[in-house]
Amino acid sequence: MKFFVDTADTNEIRELAATGLIDGVTTNPSLIVKSGRDFKEVIKEICELTDGPVSAEVTALETDAMLAEAQELLKIAKNVCIKLPLTIDGLKACKALTDEGHMVNVTLCFSANQALLAAKAGATFISPFIGRLDDMNIDGMELIEDIRIIYDNYGFETEILAASIRTANHVKQSAMAGADVATIPPSVIKGLAKHPLTDKGLEAFLADWAKTGQSIL
């Protein structure tokens, strides 16, 4: 399963990229405003922090304007992945861009039929938003499971990019459901490695090691 970091905070990305566990980055207009930085500048910096896909979202609503914005964003770096909303105009732009060989992440997906359309439009990634469905008492993980079945039925190559992940459980359940990628907030990624029994066991090992009076170096 690929891990993308879901943030535009370059300090967080730099720290996590150093672990070697990160395969890409996703941003969206809300994350850009949270960064307080110029959109193109922060995307450029992020593209230098990872070789993986960096999702940069268009803000236009009409296909031709989306394509114009996409051309601007594609100039920033070769690993820019254009993020498009799951609308008819977004799907038309997706088809045009992927036909030209560009990476596209179709976002704001909340139904299996939407994901089916994105795959037919040649999307590189589809971003079903788990957390926002959960917020409405709808099982967001069921959407990941349904998309996996549909994509496997027809051999679609579009990668399921589980998004709107809020908890470590979302990561585990997305992996169980067969998502290809999870885009995860930095705090959740850092929490994945933590377990109190690991800490306790390590403390006990080191306390016993200290009794030997030995050192490895």
Cβ atoms 200, 193 nearer than 8 A: no
Identify which of residues 27 and 63 has a Cβ nearer to ligand G3P in the complex. 27
Closest distance of CB 47 from ligand G3P, Å: 17
Does 78 qualify as catalytic in the annotation?
A: no
Identified binder of ligand G3P from the candidate list 37, 131, 134, 146, rule CB under 6 A: 131
Q: Which is nearer to ligand G3P, 98 or 105 (CB)?
A: 105
Residue 6 as a binder of ligand G3P (CB under 6 A): the answer is: yes
x/- letters, 15..44, toward ligand G3P (CB under 6 A): -----------x-x--x-------------
Q: Is 174 in the site for ligand G3P (CB under 6 A)?
A: no
Q: Which of 2, 75, 83, 211 is catalytic?
A: 83
Q: Does 163 bind ligand G3P (CB under 6 A)?
A: yes
Stretch that binds ligand G3P, among 15-23, 33-41, 126-134, 146-154 (CB under 6 A): 126-134
- The answer to the question of residue 132 lying near ligand G3P (CB under 6 A) is yes
Judged by the rule CB under 6 A, the positions of this chain that interact with ligand G3P are 6, 26, 28, 31, 129, 131-132, 163-164, 166, 183
